[in-house]
């Protein structure tokens, strides 16, 4: 299968010429790296480093939540990290950045790739209940102006035999109308910039963000099984998310768990 490279020049030019991408200060594309998140966390210490994008054609040590590895053949996915600073944000609201990113990915896939994408709490992106993308946000620096790196791993052209786990999928397997990674990156960045700017301009209030998340979250209303830290297990109906972005299962708020959809409860 032919897998063309990302058009780095087009992406860099778009940041300068396209109003919807003017939010970003720069886009770098590298052939290979250990982890784009790790690289941008290191850059967060540089004065003025903000709104930076890093993409890799392949990651040697890509990772997801709970330190899981995320590896794929070169040029078969989008491996991208964004570095942003959030001046004046309540530290308790930082978790919303990964949820915001999930909303942006879903909207980009729906509009540009033409697939019916949804969210599984907290930020797995699903097509037909199979994972097509994952998101990992990591705090790089704290203080009054915290810097956060958020990574996106999106399966684009993986075949059945290349999928990392049986419950995964890719855009090509889902019949997406658009699989050009450069086009998809532009869409992802535009949606992220729009959502982040609105959140910042609202003084980091989460009301609108929470409403948008609920509309796209397939977990709410489902019977779910949550594997909690310490080996505990909780099964019940996912009722809602709260103001902190935690999942409400029955009468219990869950902030960190592996959640499995058991069946629809609506």
- For each of the chain's 266 residues, which pLDDT tens digit applies? 889 999 999 999 999 999 999 999 999 999 999 999 999 999 999 988 999 999 999 998 655 554 556 567 999 999 999 999 999 999 999 999 999 999 999 999 999 999 999 999 999 999 999 999 999 999 999 888 999 999 999 999 999 999 988 899 999 999 999 999 999 999 999 999 999 999 999 999 999 999 999 999 999 999 999 999 888 999 999 999 999 999 999 999 999 888 999 865 43
Closest listed residue to residue 178, CA positions, set 53, 78, 55: 78
Closest listed residue to residue 248, CA positions, set 212, 206, 217: 217
Q: What is the pTM of this model?
A: 0.94
* Other beta carbons less than 10 A from residue 65's beta carbon: 16
Which ranges in the chain belong to alpha helices (H)? 8-17, 36-43, 96-108, 181-201, 207-216
Residues 6+ apart with CB under 8 A from 226: 233, 234, 235, 247, 249, 254, 257, 258, 259, 260
């Amino acid at each position: 299968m032919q897998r063309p490279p990302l058009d780095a020049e087009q992406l860099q030019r778009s940041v300068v010429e396209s109003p919807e991408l003017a939010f970003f200060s720069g886009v770098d594309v590298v052939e290979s790296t250990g982890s784009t998140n790790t690289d941008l966390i290191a850059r967060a210490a540089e004065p003025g480093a903000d709104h930076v994008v890093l993409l890799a054609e392949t990651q040697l040590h890509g990772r997801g939540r709970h330190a899981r590895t995320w590896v794929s053949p070169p040029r078969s996915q989008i491996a991208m990290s964004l570095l942003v600073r959030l001046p004046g944000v309540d530290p308790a609201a930082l978790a919303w950045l990964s949820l915001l990113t999930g909303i942006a990915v879903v909207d980009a896939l729906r509009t540009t790739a033409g697939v019916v994408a949804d969210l599984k709490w907290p930020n797995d992106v699903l097509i037909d209940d199979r994972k097509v993308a994952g998101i990992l946000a990591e705090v790089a620096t704290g203080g009054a102006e915290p810097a956060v790196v958020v990574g996106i791993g999106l399966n684009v052209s993986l075949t059945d035999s290349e999928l990392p786990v049986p419950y995964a999928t890719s855009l090509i397997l889902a019949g997406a109308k658009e699989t050009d990674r450069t086009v998809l990156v532009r869409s992802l960045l535009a949606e992220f910039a729009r959502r982040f700017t609105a959140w910042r301009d609202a003084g980091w209030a989460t009301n609108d963000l929470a409403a948008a998340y609920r509309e796209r979250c397939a977990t709410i209303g489902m019977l779910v099984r949550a594997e909690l830290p310490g080996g505990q297990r909780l099964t019940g109906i996912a009722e809602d998310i709260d103001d902190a972005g935690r999942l409400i299962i029955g009468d219990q708020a869950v902030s960190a768990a592996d959640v499995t959809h058991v069946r629809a409860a609506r």
